[in-house]
């Protein structure tokens, strides 16, 4: 009997990061946790360097899920090297953390963040508003606490 491989969310970018950092989770675990979401077939995955962290060096953004109509418009104009869209309306982004935080952050992602992303996606079934909305996860090294927030820039429907 042939082994059935699980479907993975396609990885579109994977930035090189410093040797003292690592990505806290990979495509396989992320895909497995989000497999039943209605947007699963539209999701793309990015592993990106967090250039914004320079402003707050002790707070680490490590994961985010987002919806953006800007990316939908860009999808056909910017294919990857295989001719597939580099961008999608729905995407998950993973950001590096210091190696010493990897295990702690990964446990939080597996126990909390991916379930929260799944619920966030399920609540947005059929979203067609213009703009963007992002669910962002952080770890604050000073308080040793995890937090999430939703950044919404969706425009109301105008009839």
Q: For 40-51, what is each residue's pLDDT tens digit?
A: 988 999 999 877
Using CA of residue 13, residue 14, residue 16, residue 22, what is the dihedral sign? Answer: positive
Distance of CA 104 to the CA centre of its chain: 18
pTM for the structure as a whole: 0.84
| Residue 152's pLDDT band (cuts 50, 70, 90) | confident
44-to-39, 102, 132 alpha-carbon distances in Å? 10, 22, 16
Q: Which residues of 97-121 are buried (b: 16+ CB within 10 A; e: fewer)?
A: beeebbeebbebbbeebbeebbebb
Model confidence band, residue 59 (pLDDT cutoffs 50, 70, 90): confident
Note whether 124 and 90 are within 8 A (CB): no
Which residues sit opposite 117 in a β-bridge?
Answer: none
Q: What percentage of the chain reaches a pLDDT higher than 90?
A: 58
Query: CA–CA separation, 61 vs 49, rounded Å?
Result: 10
The one-character DSSP state at 46 is E
- What value does the mean pLDDT take over residues 76-93? 68
Query: How many residues does the structure list for the chain?
Result: 159
CA atoms within 13 A on the CB side of 124: 25
Give residue 130's pLDDT band: very low, low, confident or very high (50, 70, 90).
confident
Strand bridging mode 43-47 / 11-14? parallel
What are the extents of the domains in the chain?
11-152
Kindly tell me the sign of the dihedral angle through the C-alpha atoms of 77, 83, 12, 38: positive
Residue 74 has pLDDT above 70, yes or no: no
The residue-averaged pLDDT of 77-104 equals: 80
Segment 1-14, tens digit of pLDDT? 556 566 899 998 89
**Residue 7: per-residue pLDDT:** 87
Residue 126, classified by CB atoms within 10 Å of its CB into exposed (0-12), middle (13-18) or buried (19+), is: exposed
């Amino acid at each position: 009997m042939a082994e059935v491989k699980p479907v993975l969310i396609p990885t579109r970018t994977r930035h090189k990061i410093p040797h003292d950092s690592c990505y806290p989770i990979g495509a396989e675990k992320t895909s497995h946790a989000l497999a039943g979401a209605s947007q699963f077939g539209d999701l793309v995955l990015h592993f990106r360097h967090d250039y914004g962290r320079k402003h707050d060096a002790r707070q680490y953004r490590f994961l985010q899920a987002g919806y953006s109509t800007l990316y939908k418009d860009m999808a056909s104009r910017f294919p990857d090297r295989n001719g597939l869209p580099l961008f999608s309306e729905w995407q998950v982004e993973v950001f590096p953390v210091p190696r010493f935080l990897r295990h702690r952050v990964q446990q939080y992602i597996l126990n909390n963040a991916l379930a929260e992303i799944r619920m966030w996606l399920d609540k947005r079934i059929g979203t067609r508003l213009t703009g963007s909305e992002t669910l962002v996860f952080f770890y604050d090294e000073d308080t040793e606490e995890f937090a999430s927030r939703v950044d919404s820039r969706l425009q109301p429907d105008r009839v």
